[in-house]
Copies of this chain bind each other. A is one copy, B any other.
Amino acid sequence: MTDRDQPLWSRIADRLGHEIAAGLAPGAKLPTEAQLAERFGVNRHTVRRAIAALAERGIVYARRGAGVFVAAKPTEYPLTRRMRFHRALSATGRVPGRKVLSVQGFPASEDEASALHLAVGDEVLRVEGLTLSDGVVIGHFRSAFPQARLPGMAGAIGSGLGVTESLRACGVPDYTRAWTKITASAADALLAGHLQLRRGDPVIRAESLNLGPDGAPVEYGLAHFAGERVTLSVIPD
């Protein structure tokens, strides 16, 4: 577009955005501010503003001290009442994946007991693992299932079934999302290791509760997603 009213930084942002879309791969490094300033014949402040606009649109991201890089198009993860991870990602052309890291029984923590309507100390099955999209780790999850309500869950998950199939094997033919609570936090060392991020990088924190057809809680989950790689989309049913 050429619009005389459009500020210079905005025109540079659009130009760079088109060039990135046309030919730069995710992870590619942009030229330095000085190089871009020279190329466009503007000062570095103008370049910085253009880069900030691209970063705001999620097209590039800055790593302090290292430069500015082309962002991968994030995986879109829909949050609906009937959200199913595998089906939802497949629908957007991604290959979904899941790697279970551990399956173990524990006495319920206060958070787990409160969400699952259990007494503190009642046993829950904790399943911890990684969520993948096109082979790239995008998130870490930890789900708690009420053991007494779902005695066959450990065996089902352990045999490699997904959550939907495991719940079905335990007599829960269907489930719905009661609520999801979302915030942003900084990756700690453990999460940074799982998600291949740096400590302090922004992660989405999503806590959620799933209910069986009778309204009883069947899964309480806490998931963290790499901010750069995931967009949660809320589309009312």
Residues in chain A within 8 A of chain B (CB atoms): 1, 3, 5-6, 10, 14, 17, 52, 55-58, 61, 64, 74, 76, 79-81, 106-107, 109-111, 120-121, 176-186, 188, 190, 200-205, 222, 225, 227-228, 230-237
A74-B183, A181-B233, A182-B182 known; A109+B10 contact, CB < 8 A = yes
Number of copies: 2
Contact indicator B80/A181 (Cβ below 8 Å) = no
A61 — which chain B residues lie within 8 A by C-beta?
185
Contact indicator B6/A107 (Cβ below 8 Å) = yes
Contact indicator A234/B79 (Cβ below 8 Å) = yes
Q: List 12 A-B contacts (CB under 8 A).
A: A3-B121, A5-B106, A5-B121, A6-B107, A179-B235, A183-B230, A184-B204, A185-B202, A186-B202, A202-B202, A204-B204, A236-B237
Contact indicator B186/A236 (Cβ below 8 Å) = no
A182 — which chain B residues lie within 8 A by C-beta?
182, 204, 231-234
| Interface secondary structure of A, over-half rule | mixed
Contact indicator B236/A81 (Cβ below 8 Å) = yes
> In the complex, what's the smallest C-beta–C-beta distance from A40 to chain B, in angstroms?
18
Looking at the complex, which one of B57, B109, B177, B184 makes contact with A203 (CB distance below 8 Å)? B184
Contact indicator A177/B6 (Cβ below 8 Å) = no
Closest 3 CB pairs of A and B: A184-B227, A184-B184, A81-B236
Rounded to whole angstroms, the CA-CA distance of A153 and B201 in the bound complex is: 39
Kindly report which residue of chain B lies nearest to residue A235, judged by CB atoms.
Answer: B179
Rounded to whole angstroms, the CA-CA distance of A203 and B201 in the bound complex is: 11
